[in-house]
Chain A
């Protein structure tokens, strides 16, 4: 565990985490493939993302074996970013709500897809 001796660990743990990352990525992709939508989609995608990120940082980047002085230096500062994200969510929701409310934008507008566009190529606007 001493950092002086370097981060030497049995190979087995890397193989296990490697496989786990593959499985978690497949799950993420499956969420899209099977068109899971709404709150379920958000929770699943974010759950798999957090697990993947956690395993990469903890095992591949060896953070779980580092001394607390370094661990806190790495994981401490990014916590303020959560605050930034929180503020921007509040601000963003307020802005969009104001725009819908006072500028008359359509809340239910649907984006076009490549297949819509390629089928309509002849009758171009």
Chain B
């Protein structure tokens, strides 16, 4: 480690050359973190392929694209508020990203109680996000009759794109909730006292990535 620390004196491009030409470990991060990043880069490709597929069917379909603003509107007694459910889901996911960032920070301070608490809060926000998504899906399927092969509004591709992209994202959120709860429980038991708390940051990377993907879905699928 001390040798590695020596090489790390150089940052930027010099550091890049150093790291790759030193004939040893190229990434000076815990291996789990490097692996998580490589997984996330591959996941970026999967989601981008989905979004690019969506771009292509939306460009090529000659039927009008349904108006998302009105389809995802929700009424609380009065007039329907456009896209409100999606806005709430977006804010929930951002809130959970914030609590996750705090959990990572308290993890490095070795404050187990706070790390555990913030990780559980993050998981709870994530679970409520999935719950709202389940509500959104059932509303679209049961009330509006949207199906992967068609819908009453316009281009049939709307349904397939919607179920595929939000479904795959929802699956990521659900997996993230389980992952966070497992790690949070281990934090509480003191499993990482000797190993170090990098694992909280690694779990955090996954969680922020899920939020990041939602930023793109929110913009391209719901707003544009």
List residues of chain A with CB under 8 Å of any chain B CB.
1-4, 6-9, 11, 14-15, 17-18, 21-22, 25, 28-29, 31-33, 35, 41-42, 45-46, 48-49, 52-53, 56-57, 60-62, 66-70, 72-74, 77-78, 81, 84-85, 88-89, 91-93, 95-96, 99-100, 103, 105-106, 109-115, 117
Please, how many angstroms separate the alpha-carbon atoms of A66 and B204 in the complex? 15
Give per-residue flags for B183-223: 1 if the beta carbon is below 8 A from chain A beta carbons, else 0: 00000000000001110010011001101100110110011
List residues of chain B with CB under 8 Å of any chain A CB.
1, 4-5, 8, 11-13, 15-16, 19-20, 26-29, 34, 37-38, 40-41, 44-45, 48-49, 52, 55-56, 58-67, 69-71, 73, 80, 82-83, 87, 90-91, 94, 97-98, 100-102, 104-105, 108-109, 144, 152-155, 196-198, 201, 204-205, 208-209, 211-212, 215-216, 218-219, 222-224
Cβ contact within 8 Å between B211 and A66: no
Pick the contact of B212: A32, A56, A117 (CB < 8 A).
A56
Please, how many angstroms separate the alpha-carbon atoms of A78 and B100 in the complex? 25
Cβ contact within 8 Å between A70 and B29: yes
Cβ contact within 8 Å between A56 and B215: yes
Q: Can you name 17 A-B pairs with beta carbons within 8 Å? A: A2-B8, A3-B29, A6-B196, A14-B98, A42-B224, A60-B204, A62-B201, A67-B8, A67-B15, A73-B41, A78-B44, A84-B48, A85-B52, A96-B61, A109-B154, A110-B64, A114-B144
Instruction: Evaluate whether A28 and B27 lie within 8 angstroms (CB atoms) in the complex, with A81-B45, A91-B56 already known.
Output: no
Please, how many angstroms separate the alpha-carbon atoms of A114 and B94 in the complex? 29
Cβ contact within 8 Å between B87 and A29: yes
Cβ contact within 8 Å between A111 and B101: no
Cβ contact within 8 Å between B63 and A109: yes
Apart from A4-B28, A78-B48, A111-B153: 7 A-B pairs, beta carbons within 8 A: A14-B101, A53-B216, A67-B8, A68-B16, A77-B41, A96-B60, A99-B60
**Chain A residues within 8 Å of B208, by CB:** 56-57, 60-61
Output the least CB separation between B180 and chain A (Å). 15
Cβ contact within 8 Å between B62 and A96: yes
Please, how many angstroms separate the alpha-carbon atoms of A68 and B27 in the complex? 9
